[in-house]
Structure 1
Amino acid sequence: MGLFYKPKNATVGDVIPFYDEGKWRPFYLKGNRAYFGDDRTSGWTMLTTEDHLQFTEQPTGIRGGTGSVLKVEGTYHLFYCTFQQNPKRETIRHAVSRDLSSWETLEEDSFTPDGVLYDLTDWRDPFVFWNEAEREWWMLVAAKEMGKTARRGCTGLCASKDLHHWELREPFYAPHLHTSAHECPDLFRMGDWYYLIYSQYTDRFQTYYRMSRSLAGPWIAPETDSFDTRCFYAAKTGTDGRDRYLYGWNPTRYYDMWKFNPPIYPGKDYGSYDWGDTLIVHKLVQNQDGTLGVTVPEAVDHALTVHNETPLVPQNGSWTVGPDSAETQNPFGYSSLLFENRVPELCKLELELTFSESVQELGVALQVDEAFGKGYYLSLQPHRGRLEFKSALRMYDEGGWTFPFDVELERPARLEPNIPHTLKVFVQDSILLAYLDGQVALDARMCDYTHRFFGLFASDGTAKFYKIKLLT
């Protein structure tokens, strides 16, 4: 059993959500890396699930990049892209099916950018939807507009009356912010708001969103305009008509795909991130002001049911410890304690916490050693308004070497003193996924240390941790 889906001997790349006839049928780009067994498959692969926990999969025969799937009058339409090098060119393609098993690519429907509105080099990840107001199909495209600046990444736009012939139009969204195309565009309406989602690896490496009252814009960048860390990418959404979910991938750090790893570090925690690996699904939350948060899907939240005792052993500072609680009062120093439990390969740690106004940081340690030094730390920092992931080497003198490899492993968070906050921490092998207050998600990887200890910590004030549950 697993909480997060990973295919055997393969990796999950970009996910294309789709819901059909009462079941989730998300497609994904399947990669194999160095596996060459007889059961190897790759390319577009269809998953089937009812709960985002148990999956079956079926290959499609489609080879290419990200796109979208829709059903019109009994026919399934799959839009995707293919790639050419020397010179670099990308082509949007169209395939159809009556049964989701056998697909026919309509070669005559393929098209490329024009070199007038859009650069010839970037033209991928088509997302197709019906624009009711205009009575036509619209296609959003990861593209670059023509222009003098290097910051030409945009969400391109095409329109069609029949899903076969497409007219190129002015960019749908072109903020002149990014130097590469807006990858994996997605658009949906929730209540009175439209939301545009795209992913970017220049400026920041994250999935962004923008919001507007109208398809014509303006597209507002909210105060927190992303969903997760550097360890969650290429996310797109799907809905069953009731709830909406965000599908992305958490990458490994094993393969040095970009040949950029630090040459003298013996482990994996400071390797560069690879492309794809494990499917992560968040449930979207819409706030009263229209902004979006993310929380854990119910089936994942309730998947682990075995309660474990959690004996707590204070180390530094003054602690009051109960069966499922711990409180420290240390106004001028750092308090730490260890669980007697070692971190299981698959588990959920859940707790609530409160803290005083003076607290500088508090949180949960994972895979920490008995000296409470090297390990991984989920640090809530109220005065900085963030939840941060700290990795092992930062606790030692060599920590200065690591900072180029630790970027974007933090999330903005509203951390108010003297009120309860909830923290849910999921571990699956080296994956760490934390949810704060049902609004904030933080994905990370813990590559170098396993089977060590949980811990709690707080600095410069009073902190209480309670309703502590460890589930396996």
Structure 2
Amino acid sequence: MNLFYTPEYAKTGDVIPFYNQKTKRFENYYLKNWNPDAPKDKIVYGWHQIITEDNRIYKETPTNIQGGTGSVIEVDGVYHMFYCTFDQNPPAQWARHATSKDLVHWEDIPEDKFGPDGEIYRMSDWRDPHVFWNEEEKKWWMILAARENAATERNGCVALCVSDDLSHWEYRKPLYASRTNQAANECPDFFKMGDWYYLVFSNYTDGFCTYYRMSRSPKGPWIRPERDTFDGRAFYAAKTGSDGTHRYVYGWNPTRGENGWDFDPGKDFGKDYCTWNWGGSIVVHQLVQHEDGTLGVCPVESVANAFHHSEKTEIRGLSGNWEHRADGTLCSSEDGFAAALGSVIPAQCCIKAKLRYEGTPTRFGLALQVDEAFDFGYYLMFEPQFNRIQYRSGLRMYEQGGQMFPYAVEMERPLKLEPGKEYEIALYIQDTIGVLYINNDVAFGFRMYNWKNRHLGFFVSDGTMEVKNAAVLTE
């Protein structure tokens, strides 16, 4: 079973969502990054079409388009693809335009190729064109990943061009320029939900995530919500698509192990300690809009309903006092760390539980792929004093982990934590991929390479935790 699509011999890069109103299904595209060991007779470069009716199972077909991320729209029975290409000598980036009658065979329009103007926008980054109809202005808008001419190198922006005919474009000042990032705001996306407009983009400087901003007007000003991301470090280049009822955000959870950036440690500690690759597996979240316009995410229906067999997991204490009650298991550990083991974790499953804490624990949560030693494995740590969830892999508990690339927090997601409140978790696992959802509103994706076929665990340090309805769901 595939919960998160990974092509054979390759990695999924940026997804370009397109919902076909005629067939009533998503006929998306993605950038395919072939693995170094891929058989040469299977390699087809360029955009690949992936058709899905449930955002979980895909049928793939290559296209003849060679280039980077963009967007697809339908106008009067003709499909228009906007994408980007790159020159190396001298370096240059270009927005491109192609058309099709069937979404598979595309004809490029060479005369529609254009780059940055050199005045508003620097003659460097100019990619990932996203085109949509602006009903208020009665014009086509194109937003792009670009860099504005600014006072400092913190000039990454979302560029704006407008058109009456999809061929001739007028440069305008950036739609969004926060003077924060030293790189272009990649894969920009734009949509309206209810009374709010949303701008989505990804960046890899001063953070490495897909972000969103919100406004009452398509022109801004753009508000940064308190939690302005959909997922963590392991969810990038995400763009959204809607079937008219629900809106979904499509990103990729990267693999590890190719050392493409020459950052891997000299000693082999396993793939858990290798740098991220470009591309990996498609992860799709369904957007949830709150009353104040801010956004959360929950699993798509096909993933949420993928597992039907549920087995309650017994909780066996290793340290600390674990008290079993009719409605759950309680552990009070005011003077240190308490640990317990549960079931063996299948290769593909969903782990569900409800967690509640009292007092001021330094951390509590789930351990994955641990054994009786409760050391090596993976830890999802709820940390009330920081209002976050932290992901930490086992080597960081040891001296070698402290000698690695110097950061104390491996990965984290913001989450306001309150004593006495129940946190419902659903953790979907597909081999090395893990995607955690909390209260059907917050997502946290990660990878687990070094350890498998071991146990689920629970822990609490310097406080009290209650675990209810802990179960492992399988096919």
Same fold (TM over 0.5): yes
2:115 alignment partner in structure 1: 112
Asked whether the 8 Å contact 1:369–1:452 carries over to 2, the reply is yes
Q: Is 1:181–2:184 an aligned residue pair?
A: yes
* Distance in 1 (alpha carbons) for counterparts of 2:49 and 2:203: 25
Q: Aligned ranges for residues 268-287 of structure 1 at < 5 Å?
A: 268-287=271-290
Asked whether the 8 Å contact 1:311–1:323 carries over to 2, the reply is no
* Distance in 2 (alpha carbons) for counterparts of 1:460 and 1:336: 12
1:7 alignment partner in structure 2: 7
1:409 alignment partner in structure 2: 411
More deviation, 282-291/313-322: 313-322
Asked whether the 8 Å contact 2:187–2:237 carries over to 1, the reply is yes
* Distance in 1 (alpha carbons) for counterparts of 2:107 and 2:374: 58
2:234 alignment partner in structure 1: 231
From the superposition, tell whether residues 130 and 70 of structure 1 become closer, same or farther in structure 2 (CA, over 3 Å): same
Q: Is 1:218–2:203 an aligned residue pair?
A: no
Asked whether the 8 Å contact 1:324–1:469 carries over to 2, the reply is no
Shift of 1:57: 1.1
Shift of 1:253: 1.2
Shift of 1:167: 1.2
2:74 alignment partner in structure 1: 71
Asked whether the 8 Å contact 1:141–1:155 carries over to 2, the reply is yes
Q: Is 1:97–2:100 an aligned residue pair?
A: yes
Q: Is 1:346–2:348 an aligned residue pair?
A: yes
SS of residue in 2 equivalent to 1:319: strand
Q: Aligned ranges for residues 109-258 of structure 1 at < 5 Å?
A: 109-258=112-261
* Distance in 2 (alpha carbons) for counterparts of 1:309 and 1:118: 58
SS of residue in 1 equivalent to 2:244: coil
2:388 alignment partner in structure 1: 386
SS of residue in 2 equivalent to 1:383: coil
SS of residue in 2 equivalent to 1:393: helix
**Structure 2 stretches lacking a partner, 5+ long:** none
SS of residue in 1 equivalent to 2:168: coil
Question: Deviation per CA, 1:80-111, whole angstroms, max 9, x where unpaired?
Answer: 00011132100111010111121111111111
Q: State the TM-score, normalized to the length of structure 1.
A: 0.97
Asked whether the 8 Å contact 1:230–1:408 carries over to 2, the reply is no
Shift of 1:324: 8.2
Question: Deviation per CA, 1:22-69, whole angstroms, max 9, x where unpaired?
Answer: 101121001113113423223111111111121111111111000000
From the superposition, tell whether residues 247 and 408 of structure 1 become closer, same or farther in structure 2 (CA, over 3 Å): farther
* Distance in 2 (alpha carbons) for counterparts of 1:6 and 1:257: 19
From the superposition, tell whether residues 225 and 211 of structure 1 become closer, same or farther in structure 2 (CA, over 3 Å): same
SS of residue in 2 equivalent to 1:56: strand
From the superposition, tell whether residues 33 and 310 of structure 1 become closer, same or farther in structure 2 (CA, over 3 Å): same
From the superposition, tell whether residues 87 and 407 of structure 1 become closer, same or farther in structure 2 (CA, over 3 Å): farther
SS of residue in 2 equivalent to 1:398: helix
* Distance in 1 (alpha carbons) for counterparts of 2:293 and 2:406: 34
* Distance in 1 (alpha carbons) for counterparts of 2:405 and 2:28: 36
Asked whether the 8 Å contact 1:324–1:468 carries over to 2, the reply is no
Shift of 1:405: 6.3
From the superposition, tell whether residues 467 and 366 of structure 1 become closer, same or farther in structure 2 (CA, over 3 Å): same
Shift of 1:311: 2.8
* Distance in 1 (alpha carbons) for counterparts of 2:40 and 2:153: 43
- Counterpart code for 1:213: R
- Counterpart code for 1:41: V
Alignment RMSD: 1.5
* Distance in 2 (alpha carbons) for counterparts of 1:331 and 1:91: 60
2:53 alignment partner in structure 1: 50
* Distance in 1 (alpha carbons) for counterparts of 2:470 and 2:4: 23
Shift of 1:431: 0.9
Q: 2:307 aligns with which of 282, 291, 304?
A: 304
Asked whether the 8 Å contact 2:298–2:442 carries over to 1, the reply is yes
Shift of 1:148: 3.0
SS of residue in 1 equivalent to 2:278: coil
* Distance in 1 (alpha carbons) for counterparts of 2:278 and 2:50: 19
2:420 alignment partner in structure 1: 418
1:82 alignment partner in structure 2: 85
From the superposition, tell whether residues 28 and 406 of structure 1 become closer, same or farther in structure 2 (CA, over 3 Å): farther
Asked whether the 8 Å contact 2:196–2:216 carries over to 1, the reply is yes
Shift of 1:369: 2.6
- Counterpart code for 2:220: G
- Counterpart code for 2:113: S
* Distance in 2 (alpha carbons) for counterparts of 1:407 and 1:18: 36
Q: Is 1:38–2:35 an aligned residue pair?
A: no
Asked whether the 8 Å contact 1:270–1:405 carries over to 2, the reply is no
Q: Is 1:446–2:448 an aligned residue pair?
A: yes
Shift of 1:309: 4.4
- The sequence identity of aligned pairs, in percent, is 48
* Distance in 1 (alpha carbons) for counterparts of 2:39 and 2:208: 31
Question: Deviation per CA, 1:341-381, whole angstroms, max 9, x where unpaired?
Answer: 32211111001111103222111100113211111000111
* Distance in 2 (alpha carbons) for counterparts of 1:164 and 1:216: 22
**Structure 1 stretches lacking a partner, 5+ long:** none
1:356 alignment partner in structure 2: 358
Q: Relative to total residues, which structure has the larger strand share, 1 or 2?
A: 2
From the superposition, tell whether residues 12 and 324 of structure 1 become closer, same or farther in structure 2 (CA, over 3 Å): farther
- Counterpart code for 1:417: P
1:16 alignment partner in structure 2: 16
* Distance in 1 (alpha carbons) for counterparts of 2:371 and 2:110: 58
More deviation, 26-35/324-333: 324-333
Shift of 1:408: 6.0
SS of residue in 1 equivalent to 2:85: strand
1:432 alignment partner in structure 2: 434
Shift of 1:323: 8.5
Asked whether the 8 Å contact 1:367–1:450 carries over to 2, the reply is yes
Q: State the TM-score, normalized to the length of structure 2.
A: 0.96
From the superposition, tell whether residues 209 and 4 of structure 1 become closer, same or farther in structure 2 (CA, over 3 Å): same
* Distance in 1 (alpha carbons) for counterparts of 2:88 and 2:325: 63
Question: Deviation per CA, 1:211-258, whole angstroms, max 9, x where unpaired?
Answer: 111112111111111121111100010001111111000011110011
SS of residue in 2 equivalent to 1:283: strand
* Distance in 1 (alpha carbons) for counterparts of 2:388 and 2:369: 22
* Distance in 1 (alpha carbons) for counterparts of 2:351 and 2:151: 51
SS of residue in 2 equivalent to 1:269: helix
* Distance in 2 (alpha carbons) for counterparts of 1:188 and 1:204: 23
More deviation, 314-323/376-385: 314-323
Question: Deviation per CA, 1:392-434, whole angstroms, max 9, x where unpaired?
Answer: 1122222312354675611000211112110111111111111
